[in-house]
Chain A
Amino acid sequence: MHEAKLCLSLLDLAERRAAEAGAARIVAVRLDVGEWSGVVPEALAAAFPLCAAGTRADGAALRIERVAGTDLVLREMEVE
């Protein structure tokens, strides 16, 4: 239900880490989505490009892995 808000949290975190890494743009993002997180991966994938527009992650690929548990974890990014 709140995938767009989570997308903004994801982008906030990704942008901070990309800035720390001195990266101009984020090419890809890998996110672990817990089965009990209440998050629908398809909804997240749909919201992501819209939320990412105009950020360092504009056009970035979002790769979602379904995992056990309730958490949502930004594992790693590919940056340039």
Chain B
Amino acid sequence: MCGICGCGSEAVHGDERERHHDAGHGVPLVRAHGHPHAGGARRVAVERSLLADNRDRAERLRASLAARGVEAIALVGGPGAGKTALLEATFAALGPAATAREAVVEGDCATDHDARRVAALGARAVQVATGALCHLDAHLVEHALARLDLGGVARLWIENVGNLVCTAGFPCGEHRRVALLSVPEGDDKPEKYPALFASADLLVVSKSDLLAHVAFDVERCVAAARRVRPGLAHLVLSARSGEGMDAWLAWLQQGAR
């Protein structure tokens, strides 16, 4: 089989393969490479993003949630950034009556630990065990919502799988997206994982109670995040000590932009 176009020819191409893959824009996809193609190939322009289906689905979900009076907030960040701990502290601060109007979709590769943690505080929670999948997408969230009663719910939290890479490109129907970066992870993460921080509406520097113990330069971190997302707002907080929680609750109260 031809290694260039897979057309079945046994022709030998020499160094054609390299040139084939080095070809720049504007050259034919399959250049003349030593054997004829019966019938002749033709080009079909497509110009569509592979991420477009998810983006369209997320946009529909966002609109349908808004129509039901539900604001959706996505939490993204690495494993152990403190996403669930922030939810627990938020629900504890809101109190049981208000928390009864909070719903959570929890994404993890395995276990329902997180759903149980937030349900224990009175939130409606559903766990999505993604298996080998490294991120939630709008389709998975729609399926999760089919298992969740949103009647009377004012706010939906979508806690993504802990992942600084893949979650960036897949909106899940949220109105606002919060990127968490915990102090022990290091202040260089916005430089190393720019796409995630570029996708965020708020940067939360979490576990601030550990700032005294590790070398983490908040200013450097925020400056780097703002290089990829100009004007990005940030909060420094600790779910454990309570530092910064008032500002966080105030940000939540501001409502969807």
Known: A31-B50, A74-B47, A76-B45. 5 other contacts (CB 8 A): A27-B7, A38-B166, A71-B49, A73-B49, A77-B44
Across the interface, which residues of B come within 8 angstroms of A80, CB to CB? Answer: 37, 39-42
For the complex, count residues of B whose C-beta is within 8 A of A.
Answer: 39
CB-CB nearest in chain B for A60: B6
Do residues A77 and B6 form an inter-chain contact, with CB atoms below 8 A? no
Query: In this assembly, does B143 line the interface, its C-beta being within 8 Å of a C-beta of chain A?
Result: no
* Bound-complex Cα distance A72 to B124 (A): 35
Query: In this assembly, does A55 line the interface, its C-beta being within 8 Å of a C-beta of chain B?
Result: no
Nearest CB in chain A: distance from B109 CB, A: 11
Question: Interface of chain A, helix or strand or loop or mixed?
Answer: mixed
Chain B residues with a Cβ under 8 A of chain A:
1, 4-8, 20-21, 23, 25, 28-30, 37, 39-51, 53, 133-135, 163, 165-166, 168-169, 194-195, 198
Among B44, B45, B48, B165, contact of A38 (Cβ-Cβ < 8 Å): B165
Among B6, B40, B163, contact of A61 (Cβ-Cβ < 8 Å): B6
Do residues A13 and B46 form an inter-chain contact, with CB atoms below 8 A? yes
Q: Contacts A2-B166, A80-B39: A28 and B50 contacting too (C-beta < 8 A)?
A: no
Most buried by A among B1, B20, B46, B133: B46
Among A27, A72, A75, contact of B47 (Cβ-Cβ < 8 Å): A75
Do residues B30 and A1 form an inter-chain contact, with CB atoms below 8 A? no
* Bound-complex Cα distance A54 to B33 (A): 25
CB-CB nearest in chain B for A76: B45
Do residues B169 and A28 form an inter-chain contact, with CB atoms below 8 A? no
* Bound-complex Cα distance A13 to B46 (A): 9
CB-CB nearest in chain A for B55: A71
